[in-house]
């Protein structure tokens, strides 16, 4: 993962007085075939309040952006990586928006999520995942949906599809091999599920991404 640019600073308030708010913007470039797999687990917005550590990191990022000393790019990239990690930690608490990171912060749900990630090819159902989390079926389903933002089986399908996209773009396996690897017993079943999720066939997805590249 590389950090790209942190010099877009906006200032709000009276031009001659103290700023009401200052914002420092930047972006990340994920060094992988399909960054969607990484982006899919990140929340759209993280609102962090009263974090001394995060405030210190933001201050250091601002200083590095304003004063380009030797090693500036290296320092800036590492500081922003730390800033991202620190911000993501807040997505695991109860006040954070639903998402995978918040789910992983729940000790019971994390057990089920670990099972899914370790064996995505397994024909999972809600009963099996509830058992892994040591919760009743109804409690697990409600807790998972509320915490992660989608139902358990919707999550399984979404994760399978994101992994399939990554494998398709790598070009190392056939569509049939990918279908089996992500839990489908036939290419046609996989293709139907992929089209429903991505809006196009697996081959069409690869073709469009190849043209865009």
| Tens digit of each residue's pLDDT (9 = 90 or more) over 61-105 | 888 877 878 888 888 888 888 888 888 777 666 666 788 888 888
Same domain, residue pair 86 and 22? yes
Residue 189 sits in a domain whose CATH number is: 1.10.10.60
Domains identified in the chain, total number? 3
CB atoms within 10 A of CB 134: 11
Residue 60 phi/psi, 5-degree rounding, is -65, -40
Overall size of the chain counted in residues: 213
Q: Are residues 55 and 124 in the same domain?
A: no
If asked whether residues 193 and 117 sit together in one domain, one would say: no
CA 122 to chain CA mean position, Å: 22
Instruction: Give the domain range for residue 183.
Output: 155-212
Q: Global pTM?
A: 0.70
Residues 8 and 75 in one domain: yes
- For 74, list phi and psi in degrees, rounded to 5: -65, -50
* Tens digits of residue pLDDT in 10-64: 667 777 777 777 777 777 777 665 566 667 667 777 778 778 888 898 888 888 8
197/108 Cα distance (integer angstroms)? 28
Is residue 111 domain-shared with residue 189, that is, in the same domain?
A: no
Which positions ≥6 away from 127 have C-beta within 8 Å?
A: 137
pLDDT at 6: 45
Q: Are residues 145 and 159 in the same domain?
A: no
State the average pLDDT over residues 132-142. 97
């Amino acid at each position: 993962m590389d950090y790209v640019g942190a010099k877009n600073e906006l200032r709000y308030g009276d031009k001659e007085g103290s700023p009401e708010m200052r914002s420092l913007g930047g972006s990340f470039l994920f060094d992988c075939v399909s960054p969607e797999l990484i982006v899919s687990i990140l929340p759209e917005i993280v609102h962090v309040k009263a974090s001394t550590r995060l405030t210190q990191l933001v201050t250091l990022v601002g200083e590095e952006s304003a004063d380009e000393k030797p090693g500036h790019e290296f320092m800036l990239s590492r500081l922003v990586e730390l800033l991202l990690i620190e911000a993501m930690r807040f997505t695991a608490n109860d006040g954070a928006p639903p998402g995978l990171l918040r789910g992983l912060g729940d000790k019971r749900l994390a057990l089920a999520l670990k099972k899914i990630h370790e064996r995505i090819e397994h024909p999972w159902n809600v009963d099996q995942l509830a058992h892994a989390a040591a919760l009743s079926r109804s409690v697990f389903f409600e807790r998972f949906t509320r915490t992660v933002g989608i139902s358990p089986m919707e999550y399984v399908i979404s994760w399978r599809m994101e992994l399939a996209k990554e494998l398709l773009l790598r070009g190392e396996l056939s569509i049939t091999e990918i279908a089996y690897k992500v839990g489908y017993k036939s290419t046609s079943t996989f293709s139907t599920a992929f089209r429903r999720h991505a809006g196009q066939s697996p081959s069409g997805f690869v073709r469009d991404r190849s043209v865009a590249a």
